[in-house]
Copies of this chain bind each other. A is one copy, B any other.
Amino acid sequence: MSNEPISLAKALASFDALWSPRIVTRVNDYDVRIAKVAGEHVWHVHDDTDEFFLVLDGELHIALREPAGERTVLLPQGAVFTVPRGVEHKPHAPSGAAILMFEPTGTPSVGDRHDDLPDHVDATTGHPLAT
């Protein structure tokens, strides 16, 4: 990992793939990941970890299946939200977005359980940032 500051704008400019998170830095045994997203991700759940989202650009919707029913939260640029562990969720971004995530190293991007994976969704624990 770099021991120099990293510009998120430059990091985002270094790749084009959608729904394919890049690890920009580590904090103890957690990753800070960024991703470009557009369209629909997939319903999935992380049984053992919360998942933090910060919207760097654009607008992110996160559909949530909670005990009380299904709802969708909307995160404009500069908004943050934590999806609690065990809550099935599906991020989507009709107009595209750039996001930052904070989650334990090794957390699969499609959760521990998920719907059938569409071709455009990368199942990964995060890729290294190209340098």
Copies of this chain, tallied across the complex? 2
Q: Is A86 in the interface zone, CB < 8 Å from B?
A: no
Kindly supply a per-residue 1/0 record for chain A positions 103-116, scoring 1 wherever the CB is within 8 Å of any chain B CB and 0 otherwise.
11000000000000
A76 to B9, CA, bound (A): 11
Main secondary structure of the interface of A (DSSP, over half): strand
How many residues belonging to A are interface residues under a CB distance threshold of 8 Å? 36
Residue of B nearest to A66 (CB): B3
Contacts of A104 in B (CB 8 A): 28
Chain B residues near A56: list those with CB within 8 A. Answer: 78
Q: Which 8 A-B pairs have the closest CB atoms?
A: A5-B79, A5-B81, A27-B52, A5-B75, A25-B82, A27-B50, A8-B78, A28-B50
